[in-house]
Amino acid sequence: MQYDRVLYLLDDTDANRALIHRDIEVWEYPDGRTQLRAGERALVCRQYDRLTEVDPGAIVECKRLAHVLELAQAVQAQRDNRSIGTAPSRTHRGAEVRTPRRASGTKKQRELTQQDLEATMKALHEHKRGAASVKDSSAVNKR
């Protein structure tokens, strides 16, 4: 089941299979918890957030994957991460007020193309090359 760009995964049980094509309610509490309910029964589920972000600490920890994680983080910065407009407001939990329009320069997840990925790769490569040349010139100046 999907609600507010989060996928809720139910265990594959006979009881849950009986709920296929039935109404399931999403109860969202003020403390941030969400609960799926079918009638009077609370359903056990796991959340899978489709709009996850790369943790900056992971880039430092994974030396072999650092370049790929940096690329993923740069592409995620171009993504429109707003939740859907029909979901309840979350400002009481410290979330920002939702803007009716996306920020300039951002795209929906499905609008990102291969050209966007290639442009981001090129920009990261040029940024790294520029940073490396500055580092090399400062090392020469110290001698």
Average per-residue pLDDT in the chain? 77
Q: What is the pLDDT at residue 44?
A: 92
Q: In what order do the strands lie in the sheet with 25-28?
A: 25-28, 34-38, 41-43
Q: What is the model's pTM?
A: 0.48
Phi, psi dihedral angles at 29 (to 5 degrees): -95, 155
In this structure, which amino acid lies at residue 102?
R
For residue 120, the tally of other CB atoms under 10 A from its CB is 19
pLDDT tens for each residue of 108-136 = 777 788 888 888 888 888 887 777 665 55
Residue 140 has pLDDT above 70, yes or no: no
For residue 75, the tally of other CB atoms under 10 A from its CB is 19
State the Cα torsion 25-30-33-38 to the nearest 10°: -20
Q: What is the pLDDT at residue 86?
A: 60
Spell out the domain ranges in the chain: 2-49, 56-87+103-142
